[in-house]
Chain A
Amino acid sequence: MSMLETKALTREFGGIIAVNRVDFNVERNMITGLIGPNGAGKTTLFNNITGLDVPSSGKVFFEGRDITGLPSNKVCRLGIARTFQNIRLFKDLSVIDNVMMGRHFHTGSLRNRTLQAVLSYFQVEKEECEEYEAAMKWLEFFGLENLRNDSAGSLPYGYQRELEIARALATEPKLLFLDEPAAGMNPQETDSLMETIRRIRDLGVTVVLIEHDMKLVMSICDNITVLNYGQKIAQGTPSVIQSDPAVIEAYLGTDDDEEDF
């Protein structure tokens, strides 16, 4: 059984069908790529899986459980985390505080925590300490530990991307969605990102990524799904995808379109 499956997932925005009856599968412990031209519906599909948006029809199953339309805080608690195409850090908070936010629900339910916080201020401090160490572990994973007290918004772009991934990992997900993680990165940064994604996979986290950098996608993905105009047009290993005529057509256009270039 796939770790995550969507069944005929559809999302319409007033007559425009952004995602059209898509069956998308993610296998455990693999790196899955989701590619397609701009506007193909990749981010919409992510949003509908992670609870930021509710599908018009169709189903989402995670580890066999129907999670269709579940709010994002509950999706997070089931073990799904994500990053955004346009980085969404808490820019005014420090680097370490951002990661500690990711650890939020690991310290018991909010309701109980507040009660305890009122009853024993001391206990919160202790817990805070363990949490701090756990957050530091993730900063060290990305080599960001020396920047822990800087404000997140002041970091260079590449570090902000890494910090956002660190924060997502701090929620200890089983499944991590990365939306264009290499966007705006130079070739060296992209190479190091590829290495990072492999290290994340080696931790036992299943990774799904949207990416336009074909070199990255083709070299690290085990499985690729291609969307075009909201529909799934291909699925398979990198070599299968590279030689798929429908994919080539979607990316390069048919002969008729050529005059548009």
Chain B
Amino acid sequence: MGSAGMFFQHLMNGLTLGGIYALIALGYTMVYGILKFINFAHGDILMVGAYIGLFVFDLLRGSSPLGPWWIAAFFIAMLVSMVCCAFLGMLIERVAYKPLRKGSRLAPLLSAIGVSFILSNGAAWLFGTHSRKLEYPFDNSPISIGSVVITPHQIMVLVVAVVMMVLLKLFVGKSKMGKAMRATSLDGETAKLMGINSDMIISLTFGIGSALAACGGMLIALDYKVYATMGTMIGLKAFVAAVVGGIGNITGAMLGGFLLGLLETFGVAVFGIPQGFKDTIAFAVLIIILLVKPEGLLGKVEKEKV
């Protein structure tokens, strides 16, 4: 394989991984944009999404042979998982964060860590600690395009991630509700004076973020395994992606996600960072960004309000 071929190969791998990071990073960044709060349970919502997707998919495909029905079943499972997680996210917000909104800013943060433990330990207790496999809904044998080898899985991940991001951008930029969301994130109190029900907007934000996490959870479950703590590391890395892109900025989270995916892939493949140290790349990037441009790539420097 030529070096150009190699380059495209890594590019493809990096974009696939990055697309998943980006989907998950969006949830962190949207919630932060509105509440200035990091939802540390976000990674565990992804895990719940993966489990729901796995169970629904297995139920739907039953013992039918691999075929078009599997693909349909996979997307139905994804939809079910996204809807369930949207409600889960809204429920968590209502029960664990909303009552603390008026108190110190540390309180919901601690509550989020508590929710994270409840979800991951709850999953371990309910489903056991062994890991499960989400089957590919299609024949995942690699396809060669010139000298580049891509898998159907990679294509699906990229297509789904890009479609989700375009939909989100359209929603936030064009729809009434999206505009209310932007107004709430710019100044919640004033938005309320415009007749915007900010409680509902906050709830909706959690719902959308959690649905995207569920989607990301299912995509990653195809390549990795489904287990109770699967959301911890990927959640942390997606958080890094959100910070790198500029937390609170939706485009920034997408950029940060793709950038992180590419850096991890190229870091291992080109710069010879040992596979075992792959996870350190994200955190090294975080440290560098915090030193050089703490507000993130697309973030704005917050001015203190007088």
Write out, one digit per residue, whether chain B residues 164-206 have a CB within 8 A of any chain A CB (1) or not (0).
0000000100111101101100110111111111101000000
B177 and A101 contacting across the interface, CB-CB below 8 Å: no
Choose, from A26-34, A71-79, A235-243, the stretch at the interface.
A71-79
Q: How far in angstroms is the closest Cβ of chain B from A74?
A: 8
Chain B residues bordering chain A, tally (CB within 8 A):
23
Q: Tell me which of A51, A73, A100, A114 has the highest count of chain B C-beta atoms within 10 A of its own C-beta.
A: A73
A124 and B190 contacting across the interface, CB-CB below 8 Å: no
Interface residues on A, range: 20 to 34
A76 and B192 contacting across the interface, CB-CB below 8 Å: yes
B126 within 8 A of A: no
- Closest A residue to B175 by CB, please name it: A117
Interface majority SS (helix, strand, loop, mixed), chain B: helix
Are A73 and B174 also in contact (CB < 8 A) when A90-B187, A110-B180, A110-B197 are? no
CB neighbors of B among A86-105 (8 A): 86, 88, 90-93, 97, 100-102, 104-105
Are A105 and B196 also in contact (CB < 8 A) when A113-B176, A117-B175 are? yes
Write out, one digit per residue, whether chain A residues 41-77 have a CB within 8 A of any chain B CB (1) or not (0).
0000000001110000000000000000001110011
Residues of B within 8 Å of A105, CB to CB, are 194-196
A171 within 8 A of B: yes
Partner of A73, one of B175, B182, B192: B192
A81 within 8 A of B: yes
B193 and A72 contacting across the interface, CB-CB below 8 Å: yes
A107 and B176 contacting across the interface, CB-CB below 8 Å: yes
B175 and A92 contacting across the interface, CB-CB below 8 Å: no
Q: How far is the CA of A82 from the CA of B193 in the complex (A)?
A: 8
B306 within 8 A of A: yes
Partner of B177, one of A76, A102, A113: A113
A73 and B187 contacting across the interface, CB-CB below 8 Å: no
Partner of B193, one of A73, A97, A124: A73
Residues of B within 8 Å of A117, CB to CB, are 171, 174-177
Q: How far in angstroms is the closest Cβ of chain A from B122?
A: 32
A86 and B306 contacting across the interface, CB-CB below 8 Å: yes
- Closest B residue to A106 by CB, please name it: B195
- Closest B residue to A105 by CB, please name it: B195
B191 and A101 contacting across the interface, CB-CB below 8 Å: yes
- Closest A residue to B306 by CB, please name it: A86
Q: How far in angstroms is the closest Cβ of chain B from A8?
A: 25
B195 and A77 contacting across the interface, CB-CB below 8 Å: yes
Residues of B within 8 Å of A100, CB to CB, are 179
- Closest B residue to A125 by CB, please name it: B174
B180 and A52 contacting across the interface, CB-CB below 8 Å: no
Partner of B192, one of A72, A86, A102: A72
- The residues of A with any CB-CB pair to B shorter than 8 Å are 50-52, 71-73, 76-77, 81-82, 84, 86, 88, 90-93, 97, 100-102, 104-105, 107, 110, 113-114, 117, 121, 124, 167-168, 171
Top 8 nearest A-B pairs (CB, nearest first) are: A105-B195, A76-B195, A117-B175, A113-B176, A72-B192, A114-B177, A73-B192, A90-B186
Pull 6 A–B residue pairs with CB atoms less than 8 Å apart, ordered by A. A52-B189, A72-B192, A100-B179, A105-B196, A114-B176, A124-B175
